[in-house]
Amino acid sequence: MSFALETAAHPEGLRRVAIDPVSRVEGHGKVTLLLDEHNHVQQARLHIVEFRGFEKFIEGRPYWEVPVMVQRLCGICPVSHHLAASKAFDRVLGATPISASAEAVRRLMHYGQMLQSHALHFFHLSSPDLLFGFDSPVAQRNIVGVAQAHPEIAKKGILLRKFGQEIIRITAGKRVHGTGAVPGGVNKLVSAEERDSLKRELPQMLAWAQDAVDIAKQLHAQNPALYNRFGSFRSNLLSIVRADGAMDLYNGVLRVRDEAGHILVDGVDDQKYLDLIEEEVRPWSYMKFPHLRSLGRELGWYRVGPLARVQNCDFIPSERAEIERQAFVDWGKGEPVHATLAYHWARMIEMLHAVEVIAELLDDPALLSGDLLTSGQRQRSGVGIIEAPRGTLIHDYDVGDNDLVTRCNLIVSTTHNNQAMNEAVRSVARDYLDGHELTEGLLNHIEVAIRAYDPCLSCATHALGQMPLDVTLLAADGTVLDRVQKSALGGVSRSINHSSDEISL
C-alpha cells in the first residue's frame, strides 16, 4: 500500500516541478511535484539527495573516538550526537549512573545546545516567513530583512543563540565539535568564574525567551485559520519522558501517544528501542522511514520534536514553561494540536524551559566539584537516547573485546519525521498548489512546511547498504560512456556507450 500522493498512478506525461534545493534548512534536500495538464498534483515527495555512511565509517574505530567523530555528522547539532554517543558508551563501560558532577555538566551542555539551536531556527530560519508572509518578496525573506524591519527581534535571536553557544564552549571546550563528554563522564568541570559569567546574563535571557514564546503565541492568535490549517494532519507522537511523566530532554523512557492523545506505549527502556521501532527503506529516498512495529508502516509512523514533546509529557518541570505548555494544550480544545506551524510555538516553549533549567543547573554545586568519571562492569553493547532539538536521537553500538566498534545504528530526529514531513508537503500541495499556476510564493509554502520541522537533512541520510544508486560516466563532449544503476533491492544493471544494450550484474 502506498500513501496518498506518494506515487502517481500514471507518471508518464506528467509535468515535473522541482524545489531544489530546499533552502534555510541544514543539509541538502529537494521536493518534486508531478502535475497533470490542469495543474492538479498527482505526486509529491521530499527527497534527500546525498548519502554519507557514518554508520560504516565508525565500524572498526576505537569506541573512545566515537563521541568526537559523530559530531561531524552535523554543524548545527553536534552536541546532541556527542552526548548520545557518550551515553551509549557509558553503558558499554558499565558507567550507569555517571557521577552527579558529570551529569550536571552534560545537562548544562545539552540545554545550552537546545537554546542555541531553537533560537537559530526560529529567529534566523523561520521568522522571515512568519513575520513577512509566505508570499512576501524573496529578497526580504531572510535574516537581513528581519534585522532591517524588526531589529529588536533579530537582536534577541542573535544574543540568545550566542548565550547558548557560550554554555557549549564552557562545558565542551569549543562552540562546535567540542570534547567535554567522554565515555563514563566528562573531562572537565565548570569553574566558579565561568558559572558567574553565565549567571550575570540569565535575567535578560529569561526575559527574551519569554518574549519569543509570546511572539509565537500571538502569531497563532492573529491568524488562527492559517495556523490551525496549514499542513495539519493527525499522527502519533513519540518522545522520551522522565519516569514520572515530566519533560526531560536528556534522559528518560520512551512514550508514544496516538493521534487522539491516548498513551499507546509508555515506559519503554531506551536499551529496548528496537522492540518498539523498525525502519523501512523506500527506493526514492536516502532517508529511512521508521514506524512502530506493533502498528506497521501505514498506521505506525509518528512525529517527534517540540510538537510531540510538549504534548507527550504530563508536565514541564519549570514554572514559566509549564504555564505556557498549559496554554498550548488549551489551544487544542481537548484534542492534540497537529498543526505543522505549531512546531514553532512548542519550540519556543522548550527554549524558555531550557533557560529555566540552565538557571537551576548554575546553582548546582556539583558543576564545580566532584568526580569526573565512573566505571563498572564492561558490556558488549550500549544504546544512548537523547531528545535533540529536532526530536528523539538514538545511537546504538556494539563493541568487540579489542575495544573496536563492530556495529553502529543511528536513528536521528529528522529520520523519525520523514513520513510526517512528506505528509506535510502533500497536505500543503493539496490545499494551496493543486489546480493553480505555480509561483515562487506558492512553492515557498512547501518549504515553510518543511522548515517547521527544523530538519537536519545531512544527519538523516543513512540508508547505506540498501540505497539505490545511479552512476553515469560522461565523456568531455557529454556522451554517456558508462552507466551503472543499483536498485533499492540490490539489483544492478549497466548500460555501456549509451547503447540500448543493457546487462545485469
Q: Kindly state the helix (H) or strand (E) to which residue 326 belongs, with its residue range.
A: helix 319-331
Smallest CA-to-CA distance from 160 within 203, 194, 115 is with 115
Q: Residue 475 has which C-alpha cell?
A: 565523456
Q: What is the pLDDT of residues 19-42, one digit of tens each?
A: 877 776 666 778 889 999 999 999
Residue 4: which residues within 8 A CB-CB, separation 6 or more? 426
Give the model's pLDDT for residue 285: 81
CB atoms within 10 A of CB 29: 28
Q: What is the pLDDT of residues 415-466, one digit of tens each?
A: 999 999 999 999 999 999 898 888 888 889 999 999 999 877 656 555 444 4
Q: Give the span between the Cα atoms of 325 and 319, in whole angstroms.
A: 10
Please report the DSSP string for 384-430 in residue order: EEEEETTEEEEEEEEE-TTSBEEEEEEE-HHHHTHHHHHHHHHHHII
Cis upstream peptide for 97 (omega within 30°): yes
Q: What is the pLDDT of residues 308-359, one digit of tens each?
A: 999 999 999 999 999 999 999 999 999 999 999 999 999 999 999 999 999 9
Q: Are 348 and 356 in contact (CB under 8 A)?
A: no
Q: What is the pLDDT of residues 365-386, one digit of tens each?
A: 999 999 999 999 999 999 999 9
Q: How many helices (H) and strands (E) does the chain have?
A: 18, 18
Q: In what order do the strands lie in the sheet with 263-268?
A: 263-268, 253-257, 236-241, 302-303
Q: Give the span between the Cα atoms of 299 and 209, in whole angstroms.
A: 36
Give the model's pLDDT for residue 394: 97
- Whether the per-residue pLDDT at 469 is higher than 60: the answer is no
Give the model's pLDDT for residue 296: 96
Q: Are 113 and 389 in contact (CB under 8 A)?
A: yes
Give the model's pLDDT for residue 443: 87
Q: What is the pLDDT of residues 71-101, one digit of tens each?
A: 887 777 899 999 999 999 999 999 999 999 9
Give the model's pLDDT for residue 177: 86
Smallest CA-to-CA distance from 230 within 122, 343, 153 is with 343
pLDDT-based confidence at 138, cuts 50/70/90?
Answer: confident
Q: What is the pLDDT of residues 12-22, one digit of tens each?
A: 889 888 887 77
Residue with cell 543539509: 27
Phi/psi region, residue 496 (left: phi>0; alpha: psi -120 to 50; beta: rest), is: beta
Longest dimension (CA), the chain: 73
Q: Give the span between the Cα atoms of 289 and 255, in whole angstroms.
A: 19
Smallest CA-to-CA distance from 52 within 26, 21, 19 is with 26
- Whether the per-residue pLDDT at 388 is higher than 90: the answer is yes
For helices 192-222 and 100-119, the axis angle rounded to 10 degrees is 40
